[in-house]
Structure 1
Amino acid sequence: MIQDIQFSGLIFSPPVAWGWFIGLVVVSLLVSGLVILQGGRGRLTRLALVAGLLLLIANPSLVSEQRNYLKDVVLLVLDDSDSQSIGERRKRLTETQQALQQKLAAFPDIEVQTVSVKQGDTVAPDGEEGTRLFRAREEFLRSTPSNHLAATLLITDGQVHDVPDSASLPASSEPIHAFLTGEREEKDRILTVQQYPAYGIVNKPVSLRILVEDHPRPDGPARLDNALITVRLDGNVINRTAVIPGKPADLELTLPHGGENFVEISTSSLPGELSLRNNSHFLSINGIRDRLKVLLVSGEPHMGERGWRNILKADPSVDLVHFTILRPPEKQDGTPINELSLIPFPIKELFEDKLEEFDLIIFDRYRRRGVLAPHYLQNIVEYVEKGGALLEAAGPSFATPLSLYRTPLATVLPGQPTGTVYRQGFIPTISKDGKRHPVTARLAPTATDTDWGRWFRMIDADNQNGTVLMTGPEERPLLMLARQDKGRVAQLMSDHAWLWGRGFEGGGPQSELLRRVSHWLMKEPELEEEKLTATLSEGQLQIRRHTLGNDPAPVTVTRPGGEKTTVPLEKGAATEPFQAAVPVAEDGLYRLSSDGLSALVAVGAMDPLESRDVRTTDEKLLPVTQATDGKIHWSADPALPDFRRTDSGASQSSQYWMGLRKNRNFEVTGYSKTALFPPLVAALLLIGLLGFSWWRESR
């Protein structure tokens, strides 16, 4: 602060009320006017005597204020975002900051306030992160009036994402100067995904539009080298193609599963380009299944048949084709064919022409009756091996020579019948593996499954190559799941699941069990028993490794910068997955791998605004600096410009210097009052005037 005493003004403080004083002035004016009208000698001296008397009664005084002039503030805003780590930018940021503070320290009436803006410190109204320098300035102005700012100095690479409209800045705004930390005409290649769908139908192609731009653009008609585009889906390369920089290109890909599908698109680099961060683009497309086509073949009418139909028809996304074999070929009752109202079973159409169109095939209490020839069943085997799904709900015939196991389907069915059929009451029990498998884990509403109702029939079978999730009498397999090449098979060794649906003895989760089994067969990601996932929580990646094994391999975590870390897994509770935690230090895409499984986790924005264009530029800040009469300086230039204190309304910059506006703000710490006419002086003046008047009139 600078102390100073300045004249403030002249005040009057008569010893009587202002009303009496004004009345006295009016009377004096009337009397003086009358004297002037009558003429005579001494009238001017009398007027002077009256005026002096009134002036003395008014008691005039001089008031002086003691002022403390406040220092003006220079706001120094540092861009400490991720893009400043490129090249020499961060070094120049530090050097420029030190040089500015040294220069500004030479001004005794200047106070420097520094604000550092890091990646993610401020967020745009739409939730997108970026470099928000002017948001930081606005927050600073909440505690410091704008008329106290001498200037705002920005040290940045010019990639500022909240630059205000220059027309919106007030006319009284302080000068805004910028110091750019990068180089002019930096070379970079930028990949942009202009259009992509948020959702896509599984196994149907989706289109994306991309654009590769090279900066700076070559002058003249020089030929641009093609950019090689690599497309990865969930970490696996699915396409490579060449595109011409500067021209949009369309790409197609097919989503293999429901849920999140991570797509990584990358382009080849330019020699000597600035950064590879914007050579890749990550996005997530949510896969949804279209109408699921399910073929249900019931070998004969029975109590549980309607249960299957009701469960499948309750799902609006399922197209169900259901046939019940009511009249097998061996039935000969002499009824003419033209008098039968039954729908003929379209065997060739279903099991040869359109078999690949179905997402799931269910055999419900089916037995060999000569309806399906062996080559049709062999078609189903090939359908499964190519990625199809098969579910068999066995009936008593599975234990007889008419079993489906005595057909080509034996190569894919996990359960081999023993010929025994259990016909006593039993409560289905979740096995040890079943308590960890997503299909049956937490299927029971309580800690045990003893509250479920009983079933009364189970066909015994030996598990060949499947995973037993539920057991029946004598802990024999009741529900088995198996993988066959690219496809999946499930076997339910009982036809009494309908008792749960009817609520017998309290019932059980029939619908949920069959829904989970069906969705596992159709490869829904959330029901995979071997799965690697991770979520972000409290600054850490919480890794979860679902497995039916007891000793999974450690997880290799690849960070966005390419560094790899191996993390051991810890066993949780008996039914919980293995877990691990990894601190997160930067935003980007993290890759996880273990035992051939992989997972991708996006931390922060998958396509951060900060990384889209990292070239140093003055184009974004130029309108603001021009509107406030500020200046832009490239830190790579040899010397910093000088600073000058400038008056408001004067020029705030030139080619060689930057202005710091004088605001002349002050606070009053005291004042003094001095009478113009002390009492003794006033008395002498009145006596003198009276004597002069007497002498003048006596002559």
Structure 2
Amino acid sequence: MISSGLDIAFAPMLPLWALAALAVLSVLVLAAGLWRRARGIWLRAAAVAVLLLALANPAIIAEQREDQSDIALLLTDRSPSQRIGERPQQTDAVLEALRAELARQPNLEVREVTVEPAGANREGTQLLATAQQALSNIPRRRLAGIIALTDGQAHDADTMSETLPAPFHALITGEKDEQDRRLVIRQAPSFGMVGKEVTIRLAVEDAAAAEGTPVSLRLRLNGEREEVIAVPANSEEEIAFTLDRGGQSVLEIEAAPGERELTLINNRAVLSINGVRDRLRVLLVSGEPHAGERTWRNLLKADPSVDLVHFTILRPPEKQDGTPIRELSLISFPIRELFEVKIDEFDLIIFDRYKRRGVLPRLYLGNIAEYVRKGGALLMAVGPDFASPVSLFQTPIGDILPAEPSGDVHEEGYRPTLTAMGRRHPVTADLAGAGPEGGVPGWGRWFRLVDTQPRSGTVVMQDERARPLVVLDRVGEGRVAQINSDHMWLWTRGFEGGGPQAELLRRVAHWLMKEPDLEENDLRATVRGDRMEIERRSLEPAAETVEVTGPSGETITVPLAESGEGRATGTLTVEEPGLYRLSDGERTRLVTVGAVNPVEYADVRATDAVLAPVAEASGGSVHWLADGMPDLRRVDADRRATGRNWIGLRANNDYIVTGVLEVPLLPALLTLLLALGALIGGWLREAR
């Protein structure tokens, strides 16, 4: 719309002080004439006024103006809490009515902005931050007001550091008296010690339940262990559980539904707790001193988290002088304490070239076998005696060993190689220097191998004639590793270039102690941005699929493709934060994406309390849509913009100047004629 505007502007020909001095001097002269009652004084005053006005150089300014429409910002909250109950339908209906009403307003432009779910899930509903971002593209002089269609749960209201530049009106969806049961985690650790209790403080808040009313809580650890307990409503309680493994553990806590519920999502909480082993207790029993004994000791002592108990039998087998065993050491070998009383306190037991020699009775060797079956870990590094009649295989320990000695010991040079299974097993996969399949490894040779026949387990390393070298096996709830040579120390000394001895032993020990990263049959996922990368480790190659169940309960089938070395991988784009459950039919893995306990669901009840201070400070208002949609009015910029049943948008009457026409108010000729006319008139008057 085009309009015009008139104004008078001055461009003095003299400095203002000079013009003012002339005006004062003229007034004084005229005042003297007036006092003397001189004839024609008024005509002379008119001539002076015309000359002073001419020196002020007045001009008429005519502006060509283009009226600018006002802008109303319409915010629509589409955060997850706005999807509860009838709120989506209520939002859509009111939005259409608002659009129609705003379209009828003259000289008004409407800009719509949606508060997206992604931002709301991770940091709560960023309603005001979204408004501020949209306002950065709107001139302040044209802003008529802001209308927000929301449930009132804006999680950035407390961060507002400045008042909004126009009236802010919040239209609240939902009902005024909504109730909802919520599980609130007050305090939870991010890590805990394996085997020790971890304490969590929580509360079940439910205004519809009397304080102290028992509420059932279902606790599920890593999707397996499940327990049901009762806690009183509306009071803070502590619950404790024990971490049973290292690495990440996921605890799900779910409260039973209440009498009045808006959603069951906030009845559940998910905690990710990293299990840390306090100290690893390792018992190393060496049957006799040999070149590789120091290798074991140096490896275990190099780890500050390992408490090592090491005993070495120093008496050579050929020495038979009748001296009692209890008199052959400086300190007594605490056999009963180690192998009966405190055997379950060890995370790993290692026998290094140990053989039957009457030190450990069969009863205690049987305790070791039972210790493994109940979840313990045993590593056997055997020497030539393993193929002899005094072999530990002839004791109860032989029942849990994966390979049986044939009685032969081979003492010729060979290079350890990985088996097909070894290239897939995480203990030996990717070992430096292994070389390609069918090729020659890049590490040095060994010169002794105890010949065995595998009975169970997995052979991961062998010699060049396919004779077992390293065998791994699961026995009951525990694990056993058998190394059929005592020449690993050659790699430590760097013989023929050495080899990855430290890395191999470290992996074997950690696999025995059930380190999650070394599970040979495992399902895991890593989240990078909005992509979930799924990996299935298996000793048997197979094309597989994984079922992924999202936080909303939707299940998606993700195909996996073999990527070599025991891995099958697949990717999935994830948009909804929360807990995802992966299953391949045998194993279940829980993966958290984004905020596992989103702020958005902490409280989903509609409220006017959060946005009321923001609206009041801006000159706006908050209205419940349950009371009806308020009327829409246009108001002047200096008037109140809200009432009982109406909301106002400012009429700013803004414009831009498209052209300017300047016309002198006193042209030079006119000025001359007026001044001369007045002077001549005054002279004629005085001459009478």
Assess if the C-alpha contact under 8 Å between 1:122 and 1:135 holds in 2.
no
The separation in 1 between residues aligned to 2:336 and 2:365, in whole angstroms, is 11
Q: Check if 1:418 corresponds to 2:406.
A: yes
Instruction: Name the structure 2 match of 1:148.
Output: 142
Instruction: Name the structure 1 match of 2:74.
Output: 76
Assess if the C-alpha contact under 8 Å between 1:329 and 1:370 holds in 2.
no
* Letter of the 2:596 counterpart: M
Instruction: Name the structure 1 match of 2:446.
Output: 455
Give the C-alpha shift of residue 543 in structure 1. Answer: 1.6
Instruction: Name the structure 2 match of 1:598.
Output: 588
Instruction: Name the structure 2 match of 1:343.
Output: 331
Give the C-alpha shift of residue 645 in structure 1. Answer: 2.1
Aligned counterpart for 2:641 among listed residues 648, 652, 655: 652
The separation in 1 between residues aligned to 2:184 and 2:50, in whole angstroms, is 87
Instruction: Name the structure 1 match of 2:457.
Output: 466
- Write out aligned runs for 1:14-413 (5 A): 14=13, 40-56=38-54, 58-121=56-119, 128-164=122-158, 168-170=161-163, 173-215=165-207, 217=208, 225-327=213-315, 331-333=319-321, 342-413=330-401
Summarize deviations over 1:264-297 as a string: whole Å, max 9, x none.
1001112451101101101100001111111111
Assess if the C-alpha contact under 8 Å between 1:230 and 1:241 holds in 2.
yes
* Letter of the 2:156 counterpart: D
The separation in 2 between residues aligned to 1:329 and 1:558, in whole angstroms, is 62
Summarize deviations over 1:230-286 as a string: whole Å, max 9, x none.
111110143210111101121111111111001110011124511011011011000
The separation in 1 between residues aligned to 2:326 and 2:357, in whole angstroms, is 23
The separation in 1 between residues aligned to 2:324 and 2:150, in whole angstroms, is 91
* Count of residues in Structure 1 that have an aligned counterpart in Structure 2: 685
Q: What residue ranges of structure 2 are gaps of 5+ in the alignment?
A: none
**Of 652-661 and 664-673, the range deviating more from structure 2:** 664-673
Assess if the C-alpha contact under 8 Å between 2:8 and 2:58 holds in 1.
no
DSSP-derived class of the 2:563 partner: coil
Aligned counterpart for 2:508 among listed residues 504, 517, 520: 517
* Letter of the 2:342 counterpart: K
Give the C-alpha shift of residue 65 in structure 1. Answer: 2.6
DSSP-derived class of the 1:356 partner: helix
Q: 1:22 to 1:401 in 2, by over 3 A?
A: same
Instruction: Name the structure 1 match of 2:561.
Output: 570
Aligned counterpart for 2:665 among listed residues 653, 676, 681: 676
Give the C-alpha shift of residue 627 in structure 1. Answer: 2.3
The separation in 2 between residues aligned to 1:389 and 1:470, in whole angstroms, is 20
Q: Check if 1:8 corresponds to 2:22.
A: no
The separation in 1 between residues aligned to 2:428 and 2:644, in whole angstroms, is 76
Assess if the C-alpha contact under 8 Å between 1:11 and 1:63 holds in 2.
no
Q: 1:406 to 1:547 in 2, by over 3 A?
A: same
Aligned counterpart for 1:661 among listed residues 636, 650, 657: 650
Give the C-alpha shift of residue 690 in structure 1. Answer: 4.3
Assess if the C-alpha contact under 8 Å between 1:73 and 1:113 holds in 2.
yes
Alignment TM-score, normalising by the size of structure 1: 0.92
Give the C-alpha shift of residue 24 in structure 1. Answer: 7.0
**Of 318-327 and 138-147, the range deviating more from structure 2:** 138-147
Give the C-alpha shift of residue 428 in structure 1. Answer: 0.6
Summarize deviations over 1:643-680 as a string: whole Å, max 9, x none.
22223343221112111123333222223334434566
- Write out aligned runs for 1:441-590 (5 A): 441-445=429-433, 447-448=435-436, 450-537=441-528, 539-551=530-542, 553-573=544-564, 575-590=565-580
Assess if the C-alpha contact under 8 Å between 2:10 and 2:56 holds in 1.
no
The separation in 2 between residues aligned to 1:502 and 1:524, in whole angstroms, is 28
* Letter of the 2:487 counterpart: H
The separation in 2 between residues aligned to 1:291 and 1:40, in whole angstroms, is 118
Q: Check if 1:611 corresponds to 2:605.
A: no
The separation in 2 between residues aligned to 1:225 and 1:341, in whole angstroms, is 65
- How well do the aligned residues superpose, as a CA RMSD in angstroms? 2.7
* Letter of the 1:471 counterpart: Q
DSSP-derived class of the 1:402 partner: coil
Alignment TM-score, normalising by the size of structure 2: 0.93
Q: 1:673 to 1:356 in 2, by over 3 A?
A: same
Summarize deviations over 1:615-650 as a string: whole Å, max 9, x none.
11111112212222322222233x321122223343
The separation in 2 between residues aligned to 1:336 and 1:363, in whole angstroms, is 23
* Letter of the 2:242 counterpart: T
Assess if the C-alpha contact under 8 Å between 1:159 and 1:614 holds in 2.
yes
* Letter of the 1:360 counterpart: L
* Letter of the 1:693 counterpart: G
The separation in 2 between residues aligned to 1:223 and 1:18, in whole angstroms, is 81
Q: 1:176 to 1:26 in 2, by over 3 A?
A: closer
Assess if the C-alpha contact under 8 Å between 1:134 and 1:164 holds in 2.
no
Q: What residue ranges of structure 1 are gaps of 5+ in the alignment?
A: none
The separation in 2 between residues aligned to 1:597 and 1:13, in whole angstroms, is 92
Summarize deviations over 1:143-169 as a string: whole Å, max 9, x none.
224343221111111111001467x44
DSSP-derived class of the 1:260 partner: strand
Q: 1:393 to 1:552 in 2, by over 3 A?
A: farther
